[in-house]
């Protein structure tokens, strides 16, 4: 019985509070950054002072505080310890690591020693192999967070006792590049499909394309060709305009506050729809498409910015995203035009779709404008 109690009494240290996971700080991490320019590799390694204290004992005077002097005097031992547990290989050949200095930085869980170094690889390499073993014997929950920056962009890895080796290649393989490109195309298509406002704007502009005005009244156009060219003109104007601003904003030449842009997009939709029953701009719809297209381009750029453009493939990603937008837009127009052409002569199209539809669009766009401009959330939509 006495033994039971003894066992159990220890246990209460263990149990209480576990259930609540009142966790703090975090487990031990180090941050290893490797920058390669050509075959040169510059390294920066941030290692927590608490981990170094645990492994090597930095607090020389035993006062519970680690000073710069204490850290500085142990620089050699620290470098021996850390670089003895890190191996960098260029295409299989070991690179020699030359420590170049020790600095200090703070991370979210305390002070870190920052070791800078160069890795000198014996020959030209394409793949850099990292073998990481620091602290794993002392703390298997330790993780090595590696960032590899090169012409091919940024790559990261989390190294642990079970996965202590990582290879980074200096350039993306063509396959990786293709996938990255297609991912941006997909995002572009996706944004058109889900970003209802661009579609609505375009549809509002295209509704009258299958009609012509005679003596103040609408009637259906005579042949498909004239409708087709009208649509082509408008879509091209819209495309050219938004491509210009999308590029300018993505390359950070121009930037506008997103609230302003989103509100203006809502207004542009309302204006395009109003024009269908009350001539604001008359028949110059291609011109509206161009003018307002400039604003929509800023909207696309906002989405693209949220996706995060890889600096190494800025232009190709931009092209891919824009291409995706055009594809998505083209699909919608291709579905709309034959349908509208087929219905163009009836009362249904000329009254209900054109006037009724446009009124509806004005309503929706106005609500959007109010929401966006005044930063409100209306319960209706």
> Which residue among 145, 248, 254, 307 contacts another protein (CB under 8 A)?
145
Q: Is 380 in the site for another protein (CB under 8 A)?
A: no
Minimum CB distance to another protein, residue 61 (Å)? 9
Question: Which of 106, 214, 217, 225 is the binder for another protein (CB under 8 A)?
Answer: 106
Q: For residue 103, what is the enclosing H or E element?
A: strand 96-107
- Report helix angle 258-274 to 285-307, nearest 10: 150
**CB-based contact 259:373 (threshold 8 Å):** yes
Closest distance between another protein and the C-beta of residue 127, in Å? Answer: 24
**Which one of residues 56, 93, 124, 138 is an interface residue with another protein (CB under 8 A)?**
138
**Residues 26-55, interacting with another protein (CB under 8 A):** 26-29, 44, 46, 49-51, 53-54
Residue 168 in contact with residue 35, Cβ under 8 Å? no
How far apart (Å, rounded) are the C-alpha atoms in residues 189 and 207?
Answer: 22
Shortest approach of another protein to residue 118 CB, angstroms? 16
Among 47, 66, 78, 318, binds another protein (CB under 8 A): 66
Binder to another protein among 87, 91, 139, 371 (CB under 8 A)?
139
- By CB under 8 A, the count of residues binding another protein is 62
Task: Report the C-alpha dihedral over residues 265, 270, 272, 274, rounded to 10 degrees.
Answer: -170
Kindly state whether residue 154 participates in binding another protein, applying the rule CB under 8 A.
Answer: no
Select the residue interacting with another protein from 67, 96, 100, 173 (CB under 8 A). Answer: 67
Contact of 267 with 369, CB cutoff 8 Å: yes
CA pair distance 121, 132, nearest whole angstrom = 17
Closest distance to another protein from the beta carbon of 65 (Å):
5
Q: Least distance to another protein from the beta carbon of 156, Å? A: 8
The reply on whether position 17 binds another protein by CB under 8 A is: yes
Q: Which residues of 122-153 are buried (b: 16+ CB within 10 A; e: fewer)?
A: eeebeebbbebbbbbeeeeebbbebebbbebb
SS3 assignment, position 17:
coil
Footprint of another protein (CB under 8 A)? 4-5, 7-29, 44, 46, 49-51, 53-54, 59, 62-69, 71-72, 103-111, 114, 137-143, 145, 158
């Amino acid at each position: 019985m006495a033994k039971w109690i003894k066992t159990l009494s220890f246990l209460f240290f263990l149990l209480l509070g576990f259930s609540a996971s009142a966790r703090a700080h975090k487990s031990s991490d180090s941050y290893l950054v490797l920058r390669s320019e050509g075959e040169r590799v510059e390294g920066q390694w941030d290692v927590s002072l608490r981990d170094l204290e645990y492994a090597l004992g930095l607090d020389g005077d035993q006062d519970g505080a680690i000073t710069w002097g204490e850290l500085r005097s142990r620089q050699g031992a620290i470098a021996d310890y850390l670089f003895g547990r890190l191996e960098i290989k260029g295409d299989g050949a070991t690179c020699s690591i030359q420590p170049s200095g020790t600095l200090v930085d703070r991370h979210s869980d305390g002070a870190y020693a920052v070791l800078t170094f160069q890795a000198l690889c014996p020959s030209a390499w394409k793949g850099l192999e990292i073998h990481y073993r620091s602290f794993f014997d002392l703390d298997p929950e330790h993780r090595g967070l590696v960032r590899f920056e090169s012409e091919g962009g940024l790559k990261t890895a989390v190294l642990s006792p079970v996965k202590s080796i990582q290879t980074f290649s200096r350039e993306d393989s063509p396959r990786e590049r293709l996938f990255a490109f297609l991912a941006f195309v997909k995002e572009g298509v996706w944004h058109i499909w889900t970003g209802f406002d661009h579609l609505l704007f375009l549809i509002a502009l295209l509704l009258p394309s299958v009609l012509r005005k005679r003596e103040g009244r609408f009637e259906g156009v005579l042949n498909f060709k004239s409708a087709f060219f009208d649509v082509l003109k408008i879509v091209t104007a819209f495309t050219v305009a938004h491509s210009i601003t999308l590029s300018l904003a993505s390359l950070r030449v121009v930037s506008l506050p997103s609230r302003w842009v989103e509100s203006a997009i809502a207004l542009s939709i309302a204006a395009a729809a109003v024009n269908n029953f009350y001539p604001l701009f008359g028949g110059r719809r291609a011109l509206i498409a161009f003018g307002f297209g400039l604003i929509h381009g800023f909207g696309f750029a906002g989405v693209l910015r949220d996706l995060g453009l890889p600096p190494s493939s800025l232009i190709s990603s931009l092209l891919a995203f824009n291409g995706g937008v055009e594809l998505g837009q083209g699909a919608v127009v291709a579905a709309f035009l034959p349908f509208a052409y087929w219905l163009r002569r009836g009362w249904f199209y000329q009254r209900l779709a054109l006037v009724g539809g446009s009124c509806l669009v004005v309503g929706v766009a106005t609500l959007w404008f109010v929401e966006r401009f005044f930063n409100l959330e209306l319960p209706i939509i």
